[in-house]
Amino acid sequence: MSGTDNGAALRDLLPPDARERLATLRLADGVATLVFDVAGLDRLAGDKLEIAVKAALRGAPGVREVRVALTADRGPAEQAAQAATIAGPTRRIIAVGSGKDGVGKSTLSANLAIALMRQGIKVGLVDADIYGPSQPRLLANEGQRPEARDNKLIPVPSPWGVPVLSMGHLVEPGRAIAWRGPMAGNALGQLIDADWGDAEVLVVDLPPGTGDVQLTMVQRYKPAGAVIISTPQDLALIDATRAMSFFEQAQVPLIGMVENMSGYVCPHCGETSDPFGHGGAEAVARSMDIPFLGHVPLDLAIRQDSDAGKPPAAGDTPQGKAFGAIARRVAEWLDQTA
């Protein structure tokens, strides 16, 4: 197949809207380089276009890498914002994601941040669940408001030593946030581009699924890696594999998988039962050849302490040690990939 035929074949694999905006396409030594004219598109639409193109060409014959460039005239404000991002401090972002709601993602994010801090890492926590923020309750700083300096938010301190920013700090408690995707993406930018001081790592508590906030995250801020959490149930695991596929398509490394609600120890008789199953997430991690980071038990103390703003990872209880073990594996991954 000639180079021209190769290019034509790849072009036919693209979504129709991407073909219309394609300026050039070149395939050489297994690297497909595509340039698109995105004039008139906002940043979020451009992000979605790039994700769709990489997904469409992933695994195509003769393609081992896809490189996408988006071109359009940029105004002074956007150029200044990009320059500020490039000149800003380098921080590694750990995204905590899940395929669905209610699997313990926010609890894991808060406890992972605290456990990493206890291991000597300077950590900040971003509550990117724009529509359902819960970190202010988990970290016991509800009702506090962040200050601003030089047009940047200053994270809110927590009693546990980890600074945090959340939409829960910016809106009235209990108020519904009814925003379209671009507004949610802009809100995420304000939280991540805040004045995080000397923080080396930002743990980002993502909303469930693979929507606009996730797209903005992977395209604009490129996490160093992602941690996926799931319960052992089959339905939760199916959604978790979708989340893993999303990060793989975005070329974000998977740090590993955590199984939550994994086994219940009766406080009266000491017998262990598995109301949600056991080992499902570990089996999925093994089948997808990614690390399994650990189990978090189904424990009443975790729920009670979390509701009271006392994250288990801040103490040396068995529940706290479970989060500490997960954090050690994440810290080891950060060291190995530094």
Residues 51 and 115 in one domain: no
Residues 25 and 168 in one domain: no
- pLDDT surpasses 50 at 284: yes
C-alpha span between 242 and 210 (Å, rounded): 8
C-alpha span between 243 and 106 (Å, rounded): 16
Which of 150, 160, 100, 94 has the alpha carbon at shortest distance from 126? 94
**Single residue among 72, 104, 120 that ends a domain in this structure:** 72
Per-residue pLDDT band at 110 (split at 50, 70, 90):
very high
- Name the phi and psi angles at 197, rounded to 5: 60, -130
Token pair listed for 267: 């406080």
Task: Give residue 28's pLDDT.
Answer: 80
Which of 186, 249, 245 has the alpha carbon at shortest distance from 220? 186
**Single residue among 72, 97, 117 that ends a domain in this structure:** 72
Please name the helix (run of DSSP H) or strand (run of DSSP E) that holds residue 228, with its range, or none. strand 225-230
C-alpha span between 197 and 75 (Å, rounded): 29
| Averaged pLDDT, 81-94 | 58
CATH number, domain containing residue 133: 3.40.50.300
C-alpha span between 320 and 338 (Å, rounded): 26
In percent, how much of the chain has pLDDT > 90? 42
| Averaged pLDDT, 237-264 | 88
CATH number, domain containing residue 58: 3.30.300.130
Task: Give the distance, in angstroms, between the CA of residue 314 and the centroid of all CA atoms in the same chain.
Answer: 23
In percent, how much of the chain has pLDDT > 70? 84
Domain assignment present for residue 129? The answer is yes
Task: Give residue 138's pLDDT.
Answer: 96
Q: Which residues are paired to 25 by β-bridges?
A: 34
Token pair listed for 186: 């802009």
Domain assignment present for residue 81? The answer is no
For 255-281, give the DSSP string. Answer: EEEEE-S--EE-TTT--EE-TT-SSHH
Which of 118, 152, 125 has the alpha carbon at shortest distance from 139? 125
Residues 64 and 200 in one domain: no
Residues 145 and 226 in one domain: yes
In terms of pLDDT, which residue wins out, 95 or 214? 95
pLDDT tens-digit readout, 96-105? 999 777 889 9
> How many folded domains does the chain comprise?
2
Per-residue pLDDT band at 123 (split at 50, 70, 90):
very high
Its domain, for residue 153, covers: 89-336
Task: Give residue 1's pLDDT.
Answer: 35
Instruction: Mark out the alpha helices in the chain (DSSP H runs).
Output: 3-13, 16-21, 43-57, 76-87, 105-118, 135-138, 181-192, 212-216, 234-249, 280-287, 300-307, 318-336
Task: Give residue 79's pLDDT.
Answer: 40
Task: Give residue 3's pLDDT.
Answer: 43
Task: Give residue 136's pLDDT.
Answer: 94
| Averaged pLDDT, 26-46 | 82
C-alpha span between 302 and 127 (Å, rounded): 19
Which of 254, 275, 334, 303 has the alpha carbon at shortest distance from 111? 303
Task: Give residue 72's pLDDT.
Answer: 63
Residues 137 and 239 in one domain: yes
C-alpha span between 64 and 76 (Å, rounded): 36
Which of 65, 11, 45 has the alpha carbon at shortest distance from 220? 45
Domain assignment present for residue 82? The answer is no
pTM of the shown model: 0.73
Residues 131 and 260 in one domain: yes
Residues 241 and 282 in one domain: yes
Domain assignment present for residue 78? The answer is no
| Averaged pLDDT, 23-33 | 84
- pLDDT surpasses 80 at 277: no
In terms of pLDDT, which residue wins out, 47 or 190? 190
